[in-house]
Amino acid sequence: MSGNRIAVITGASAGVGLAAAKALAAEGWRVIGLGRNAARCAAAEAELRASAPGAEVTMLRADLSLMADAARVAKEIAGMVDHVDLLANNAGGMIPEPAVTAEGLEECFAGNHLGPFVLTTRLLPLLLKAPQPRVINTSSDGSEMIPGMNWENLEDPLGSSPGAAYCSGKLANVMFAAELARRHGGQGLLAFSFHPGTVASNFFAHVPQATRAHTEALEKITPEEGAATLLWLARQPAEALDNGGYYYRCAPRDPNPTAHDPANGERLWALSEQLVASALARS
């Protein structure tokens, strides 16, 4: 196994992901960043190289709302490295109108949870080769704003509004981290989720108008401030953290009451496998 620490960061072409990538590259990590837009990926790679001269940085294009693309980029990463120390599932967002992907999935939930689910499960063999692997999911306080997962609507591509689908995806990020810790904590895997705060980024360009009006009134933090908890979770000693926990501002935060129920974690995992298999059969 190569000696350098390796981080895979999704949504690394801007915002919190780019800020985290810069910080880790400056510390000597090998950084593999993912982004949806090829031009923004190229610009981010140039920015990363300029901010951390000599750092080993690669940006890969991938649309994580498409399960075939998530599987493809996981295979590409597996051909590049022999282990992964950190997987930061940071990409995600909201869409202004209901939309269905070419694979038949609701686009918002697919991009926020199902694509990261594919990437994580496909990279698990590489993560488990690292001495102390970590998976960190960027969630949102939107995960706290719904009573729980609307399981029936997850199987209906147009069963939810974009806002409800976004909150479900962010709750899934919290549930998924907790379930990863339950399933693989005994193998040394640490998994966490966190709320970064309301970050000034291009996220708000894609939200519905009513949501945008609300969020524009909120006080914003910088991408660097938003990345602080992600980086803190990547650096803290394992014994100082709650494996499977949900965090905000570098401290534990109470999640949605349904988030850490093992039955919900198992149900989410099984449903995710089912939806992904259906999508891949269409691609």
pLDDT in tens, 43-52: 999 999 999 9
* pLDDT band for position 3 (cuts 50, 70, 90): low
Q: Under CATH, what is the fold of the domain 6-282?
A: Rossmann fold (3.40.50)
85 close to 133: Cβ distance less than 8 angstroms: yes
Q: What is the mean pLDDT of residues 150-161?
A: 81
Interacting residues of 144 by C-beta distance below 8 A, sequence separation 6+: 255, 256
Q: What is the mean pLDDT of residues 60-72?
A: 99
Q: What is the mean pLDDT of residues 167-184?
A: 98
pLDDT in tens, 243-258: 999 999 999 999 999 9
23 close to 235: Cβ distance less than 8 angstroms: no
pLDDT in tens, 201-240: 555 555 555 554 545 556 789 999 999 999 999 999 999 9
DSSP secondary structure letter of residue 220: P
Q: What is the pLDDT of residue 203?
A: 53
User: What is the dihedral sign for C-alpha 126, 127, 129, 131?
Assistant: positive
276 close to 111: Cβ distance less than 8 angstroms: no
Domain ranges of the chain: 6-282
**pTM value?**
0.93
Please give the helix or strand (H or E) that residue 223 lies within, else none: helix 223-235
187 close to 125: Cβ distance less than 8 angstroms: no
Instruction: With a cut of 60, say whether residue 100 has pLDDT above it.
Output: yes
Instruction: With a cut of 80, say whether residue 157 has pLDDT above it.
Output: no
Which residues does the annotation mark as catalytic? 166
Interacting residues of 154 by C-beta distance below 8 A, sequence separation 6+: 106, 109, 168, 271, 275
- The pair of structure tokens assigned to 230 is 């992600």
